[in-house]
Amino acid sequence: MYYGYLSDLAGTRENVVSVRDGASVRVRELIAERVIKLGESSLIILVNDTPSTLEALVKAGDTVKVLPHVGGG
Amino acid sequence: MKGWTGRILWIDLSSRKIQIQEYSGDFARRYVGGRGFAARILWDHVPAGTDPLSPQNLLVFAAGPLTGLPGPSTGKLVVATKSPLTHGYGDGNIGTRAAVGMRRAGFDAVVVKGRAEKPVYLYVEDGKAEVLSAEDLWGLDAFSAERKLLEKHGKAAGALVIGPAGERLVAYATVISQEGRSGGRVGVGAVMGSKNLKAVVFNGREGVEVADEGALRRLAADSYREIKRRPQYGFWMRQGTMMTIQWSQENSVLPTFNFSEGVFEESGSIDGYAMEKVKKGQRGCPNCNMACGNYVLDDEGEVSELDYENVAMLGSNLGIGDLARVARLNRLADMWGVDTINLGAVLSYAVEASQNGLLGERIEWGDFDQILALARDIVERSGVGDVLARGLLEASSKLGGSEYAMHVKGLSISAYDCHAAPGMALSYGVSPIGAHHKDAWIISWEVAHGRFEYSRGKAARVIELQRIRGGIFETLVACRLPWVEVGLELDWYMRIFNAVTGLSWSLSDHFQVADRIYNLIRAFWVREYTAEGREWSRVLDHPPAKWFKKPLTAGPLRGARLDPVKYDELLGYYYSMRGWDFRGVPRASTLEALGLADVKSDLEKYIRLTP
């Protein structure tokens, strides 16, 4: 799932990816190229709502959230 | 001296004496402007121990060398005083035509002291000032008062006005401008009210002489273009700071039920996407091309300008999940001239206190009608509202419940829950005005860099952010949001500053000014506490007890809470890097190294300094 302006870059707020049962995939491989290009320092990665990294491995059923750094005022 | 007008306007409302002070280039270079000017003026001219609502207190409106000139979001002004809410240094930042008007009228700052016998307002036009009667404005809400003033002085005039909250000395009354801009949550509006000063209005037609006009125009045009090219720009223009509701929810920092939780079940009803569906337009400050003032119609069909802080504090933190109703509370707060952040925090404290049997009547989370009635009581100073109008520190000392009075040094926490964010808690703890996010919004960095750590690196990051946000942007004076939200590099501001002033400053020169100001402000706090017979200690830099004692019970981080021992260690790292002693008081050597030997000598009259 993409948040804030990252959804503009990815062209979607949510993307469902099929992963074979028992297989695992790196978070990096699931994320739109235009978002990855920003670099990890520009992103906040949550896997199943807990802080994670682009190199983490995920499996079928996991939720990956990619958030930008925002200022909020 | 280029870039500065070199003039400060002084008005004594008691004697009606008006003076123009020409200040030196050395003063400009040592304090730059905005918060720097304000802090030095308050240190020099407010007698130690002054009652903030007495005629002896000063009210400072201060611009910086970038204010009002071409450049990204430079239509801003610092308003400062000795705070009636905290009894320490207090300031706020407001985007307003008055900022541009003050500079074009020929002044970098306006200082008001004394007290008028009857309601007045100050009118400043092209180098001259008059004190005029405001008897027909007294009692009006801030929007109506501003409209009347602009009818008289022209739509191009810039006005800073107070509403009924300021007139009735609500300790967190603000200054309002352009029907939705609010500044000075430390109670600047109450200080205006105490002086019988309803408004300050500026009209100016003169320019400010700059060192390199051509370079300034080129840099301004290029920086505006650069902002629009950034990938964040489109989304920002749709949601502005309102996107942070969803961001905070996902990161478990959205203040909920008086900062008891970091997630709110109904957040989707008040977030940026909910706002987009009903958005009617957006408004901005002068000289800004990334206007953040998204406005909607509230449940009474009136225009209300929303942003993250007011929606979080008047929405999730009170358990209200109806954006149109949150918008009404927000609009009324602006019309009353009261700070939405403090108001939300005081109301949520009152709800929790009522549920603990301290108020008699029980109020439920999300009970809009009861909450609105209590808000009215605060502004009218009726019943328990009179106590709540004095702020969280005083209200909780009278009513009880200090462990859930969510403030630091009297100023309420702004809209980030810190059960699982020790760096943000430190940022609130050591903010120069009491708890506020303005100076070091570390939380975005923190959630991506070991959010449960209490490291030296975090303390260092807080200081770096304070130097940039609380130093550079508060002295230039320009809005920090182009840098924060679309990543406009600091180098743009350095180049614009140098084109304006003719100086060749680098980031480190600005950082030194920032450090000087931070130490001066800390000295002001220590002096005022000591002069008022209160003891200064490091506990004053601790966040509220709730975050240490009562863990989160909902969301992915349930069970999280701050560790008091580790927090105190983190605070120690901060003190050590700042050159402050175990009490959080600047060392004598630190003050001397920053060119504040005179401040050191004065402070030593009140407290023993560590060498």
Check residue B140 and give its pLDDT.
98
Residue range B15-25: average pLDDT?
97
- pLDDT of B282 over the 90 cut: yes
Q: Which of the four pLDDT bands, split at 50, 70 and 90, describes residue B449?
A: confident
Q: Residues B569-583: pLDDT tens digits? A: 999 999 999 999 999
Contact B348, B318 (CB under 8 A): yes
- pLDDT of B544 over the 90 cut: yes
Q: Where are the CATH 1.10.599.10 domain residues in chain B? A: 418-487+506-611
Check residue B303 and give its pLDDT.
98
In a domain, A16, yes or no: yes
Q: Residues A9-68: pLDDT tens digits? A: 999 999 998 888 889 999 999 999 999 999 988 999 999 998 899 999 999 999 999 999
Contact B399, B391 (CB under 8 A): no
Check residue A70 and give its pLDDT.
80
Residues of B in contact with A27 (CB under 8 A): none
Check residue B450 and give its pLDDT.
87
- pLDDT of B271 over the 80 cut: yes
Residue range B437-453: average pLDDT?
91
Nearest Cα to Cα of residue B208 among B296, B312, B101: B101
Check residue A73 and give its pLDDT.
62
For residue B495, the one-letter residue type is R
CB contact under 8 A, A71 and B231: no
Residue range B108-128: average pLDDT?
98
Q: Residues B254-270: pLDDT tens digits? A: 999 999 999 999 999 99
Q: Residue A20 is part of which domain span?
A: 6-68
Paired with B283 in beta bridges are B293
In a domain, A51, yes or no: yes
First to last CA, chain B: 37
Residues of A in contact with B307 (CB under 8 A): 73
- pLDDT of B321 over the 90 cut: yes
- pLDDT of B515 over the 90 cut: yes
Residue range B410-414: average pLDDT?
98
- Write out residues 44-73 of A within 8 Å (CB-CB) of B: 44-46, 48-51, 65, 67-73
Residue range B517-531: average pLDDT?
98
Nearest Cα to Cα of residue B85 among B391, B298, B372: B391
- pLDDT of B272 over the 80 cut: yes
Strands B7-12 and B109-113: parallel
Could you give the CA distance from residue B495 to residue B72 in angstroms, rounded to a whole number? 12
Residue range B279-306: average pLDDT?
97
Annotate B324-340 with three-state secondary structure: HHHHHHHHHHHHHCECH
- b/e per residue, B539-558, with b = 16+ CB within 10 A? ebbbbbebbbeebbeebbbe
Q: Residues B133-192: pLDDT tens digits? A: 999 999 999 999 999 999 999 999 999 999 999 999 999 999 999 999 999 999 999 999
Side-chain-facing half-sphere of B17: CA atoms under 13 Å:
7
First to last CA, chain A: 24
- Cα B466 to chain centroid, rounded: 14
Q: Where are the CATH 1.10.569.10 domain residues in chain B? A: 242-415
Which H or E run includes B477? none
Q: Is B452 exposed, middle or buried (0-12, 13-18, 19+ CB in 10 A)?
A: middle
In CATH, what number does B242-415 get? 1.10.569.10
- The pair of structure tokens assigned to B136 is 């027909």
In this complex, is the C-beta atom of B248 within 8 Å of any C-beta atom belonging to chain A?
yes
In a domain, A73, yes or no: no
Predicted ipTM of the assembly: 0.94
Q: Angle at which helices B507-531 and B35-45 pack, to 10 degrees?
A: 30
Q: Which of the four pLDDT bands, split at 50, 70 and 90, describes residue B304?
A: very high
CB contact under 8 A, B235 and A49: no
Q: Angle at which helices B490-501 and B507-531 pack, to 10 degrees?
A: 90
Q: Which regions of B284-391 does DSSP assign to beta strands (E)? A: 293-297, 303-306
User: What are the CA-CA distances from residue B144 to residues B176, B333, B398, B548 (Å)?
Assistant: 11, 14, 35, 44
- Which CATH number is A61's domain given? 3.10.20.30
Percentage of the residues of chain B whose pLDDT score is greater than 70: 100
In this complex, is the C-beta atom of A32 within 8 Å of any C-beta atom belonging to chain B?
no
Residue range B32-54: average pLDDT?
98
Q: Residues B546-571: pLDDT tens digits? A: 999 999 999 999 999 999 999 999 99
- pLDDT of A71 over the 80 cut: no
Could you give the CA distance from residue B107 to residue A20 in angstroms, rounded to a whole number? 69
Q: Is A63 exposed, middle or buried (0-12, 13-18, 19+ CB in 10 A)?
A: exposed
Check residue B448 and give its pLDDT.
85
Please tell me the total count of domains within chain A.
Answer: 1
pTM of model > 0.95: yes
Could you give the CA distance from residue B532 to residue B48 in angstroms, rounded to a whole number? 8
Strands B197-203 and B120-125: parallel
Nearest Cα to Cα of residue B100 among B208, B184, B24: B208
Could you give the CA distance from residue A15 to residue B403 in angstroms, rounded to a whole number? 44
Residues of B in contact with A72 (CB under 8 A): 241, 244, 247-248, 308-309, 415-416, 437, 441, 444
Of B416, B484, B556, the CB nearest to A50: B556
How many of the other CB atoms lie within 10 Å of CB of B221? 12
Residue range B84-99: average pLDDT?
98
Q: Is B606 helix (H, G, I), strand (E, B) or coil?
A: coil
Contact B513, B594 (CB under 8 A): no
Of B415, B437, B444, the CB nearest to A70: B444
Four-way CATH pick for B7-203: 3.60.9.10, 2.40.10.220, 3.40.50.300, 3.30.450.20: 3.60.9.10
- pLDDT of A72 over the 90 cut: no
Residue range B340-369: average pLDDT?
97
Annotate B42-71 with three-state secondary structure: HHHHCCCCCCCCCCCCCEEEECCCCCCCCC
Q: Is B188 helix (H, G, I), strand (E, B) or coil?
A: helix
Architecture of domain B418-487+506-611: Orthogonal Bundle (1.10)
Q: What is the DSSP string of B102-171?
A: HHHTT-SEEEEES--SS-EEEEEETTEEEEEE-TTTTT--HHHHHHHHHHHH-TT-EEEE--HHHHTT-T
Of A5, A43, A65, the CB nearest to B236: A5
User: Considering chain B, what is the average pLDDT of its residues?
Assistant: 97
Residue range B45-54: average pLDDT?
98
In a domain, A1, yes or no: no
Q: Residues B92-114: pLDDT tens digits? A: 999 999 999 999 999 999 999 99
